[in-house]
Amino acid sequence: MSISSLENVPFENPFVDELRGENSGEKGSRQVPGYCYSRVEPTPVQRPHLLAWSDELGEFLGIEKPAERGPAVNALAGNLVTASMKPFAARYGGHQFGNWAGQLGDGRAISLGQVAAVDGTRWEIQLKGAGPTPYSRRADGRAVLRSSLREFLCSEAMHHLGVPTTRALSLVGTGDAVVRDMFYDGNAREEPGAIVARVAPTFIRFGNFQIMAAHGEIDNLRALADYTLRHHYPELGAPGPDAYVRWFEEVARRTAVMVAHWMSVGFVHGVMNTDNMSILGLTIDYGPYGWLEPYDPDWTPNTTDFGSRRYAFGQQPRVAMWNLMALAQALGPLLPDAEVLREGLNAYATTLADTQHALMLRKLGLTPQFPDEDRGLTQALPQALAEPEIDMTWFFRQLSQMAPALVADAGNEDALFAELIAASAYSVAADADRNLRQWLHRYAARLRQEPADAEAIRAGMLAANPKYVLRNYLAQQAIEAAEAGNLSALNRLMHVLKTPFDEHPEHEALAAKRPDWARDKPGSATLSCSS
């Protein structure tokens, strides 16, 4: 398949062509009952210019990297709508922090349609920050460089970590200023605007189905479910009650796999509202996310959630189940007996436990030989990591390097463990590491029961434990540099995050634990939902 410039790429529009939408063209915020989407065109910006591009994703989609300015960048900014595009904003609802929020929808995201990748699969391209839509809820529909850069980097970083995720094709500066109050504390200021081109097979969310059920729009609900089955789950058979049950179970299974991957790398989504849950089990909507630095199951990067910590790291598996229950309730009107969806919830719980355990064994260089012993070992680790506030990423990477010495059993385990903990811990409280030391001795004894040779174990662990993750302080440094017109930090981060399991000795500083200065600096530890 040939590589083309974006303005010459043909778009397909099945969501618009097959589902009920409104086409008034009005961008003003309003309720849109009875429809799945609204046709709306992006609002042009002053000076669109390319800031970043995902080479791998572009090649996969058959789209060539554009020059800094020109027709392709105009399309990525919403200034150019080609003849084959049918831009739309989707209507959905959702539970936000556990409370029903009614109609939400794409308030600043506008989908251009689908393109065919080099393997024939179809991928939707969506511009986030492209201007107001009927779902903007009195906002301007724009996004700032700060949040857009974070979304661009994290989408691609998660993909290269092997976590199910939406992707990001480009980051475009708009030349426009956007006013935002970063921490909702009355200190609004102008910030540079930007637009991310997000990419996924679909951006349909749990909330798309919830809004239909909440308004009694059963025909629309069934039409959307059937569309989703035909286009994204064709292997489950023709749409109908039996297929709906199989579909819900598969959504639950994929959601469990996604959350298990989050937990395995220490990722905290930060705002797991039902409208931020992909029907494909992909990580979607990178807002106030973060990576565990001090290991703390109660940590959330989201300042809006500090009161209840509903979306804290350790709560993510439970919240995903809650969200699936909300989806099951929305799908209930399509079935003679909604109780049959309970099997999907059971599948979620089983898949989550099994996937988490399998991922943890891989991180520890273990094979499933002793099920009961290994479950006890992996289940005891989180508490042991929490007490001395261990840096999860650093700990597992250093443990990987240490594996051959542990297998050799040279009699210096205590010294090795002391070195590992000293390098990984944020806490210096006396005796805080006692349980972790005991756990490490158990682990070392178990590791020596593995049949593989030490170097093979080490190589497998290094392939499972990244050296580089997108720590918030690194993202903030890249943001501050980009706001000043310097993209070198962004490019450097993008380079290492594409191969996060490699060493990159020239970029060793990007693997460092969070420095003390970043602990309380805005944007370097915690964030709000503000864009």
Q: What is the three-class DSSP state of 124?
A: strand
Q: Are 327 and 237 in contact (CB under 8 A)?
A: no
Encoded amino acid at 15, one letter = F
What stretches of 122-234 adopt beta strand conformation (E)? Answer: 122-128, 167-180, 189-200
Strands 21-22 and 37-39: parallel
The alpha carbon of 307 is separated from its chain's Cα centroid by a whole number of angstroms, namely: 23
* Catalytic residue (one of 275, 285, 391, 433): 275
Rounded Cα distance between 34 and 103, Å, is 12
Phi, psi at 38, each rounded to 5°: -125, 135
Sorted by sequence, the CB contacts under 8 Å of residue 467 that are 6+ apart come out as 393, 397, 500, 501, 502, 503, 504, 511
DSSP state of 502: S
Sorted by sequence, the CB contacts under 8 Å of residue 46 that are 6+ apart come out as 174, 175, 176
CB-count burial class (<10 Å; 0-12, 13-18, 19+) for 116:
middle
Q: Tokens 């959307």 appear where?
A: 224
Give the relative orientation of helices 241-265 and 316-331 as an angle to the nearest 10 degrees: 170
Rounded Cα distance between 300 and 304, Å, is 10
Rounded Cα distance between 231 and 15, Å, is 10
Q: Among this protein's residues, is 275 annotated catalytic?
A: yes
Strands 290-291 and 37-39: unpaired
Q: Look up residue 8 and give its two tokens.
A: 């010459």
Rounded Cα distance between 259 and 317, Å, is 6
Between the alpha carbon of residue 375 and those of residues 86, 313, 346, 358, 380, the distances in Å are: 51, 20, 19, 10, 8
Rounded Cα distance between 255 and 289, Å, is 18
User: Please, what is the end-to-end C-alpha distance for the chain in angstroms?
Assistant: 37
For residue 143, the tally of other CB atoms under 10 A from its CB is: 24
Rounded to the nearest 5 percent, the helix, strand and coil shares of the chain are 45, 15, 40
DSSP state of 336: S
Q: Three-state SS string across 204-243, please?
A: CEHHHHHHHHHCCCHHHHHHHHHHHHHHHCHHHCCCCHHH
Q: Are 103 and 32 in contact (CB under 8 A)?
A: yes
Residues acting as catalytic residues:
275
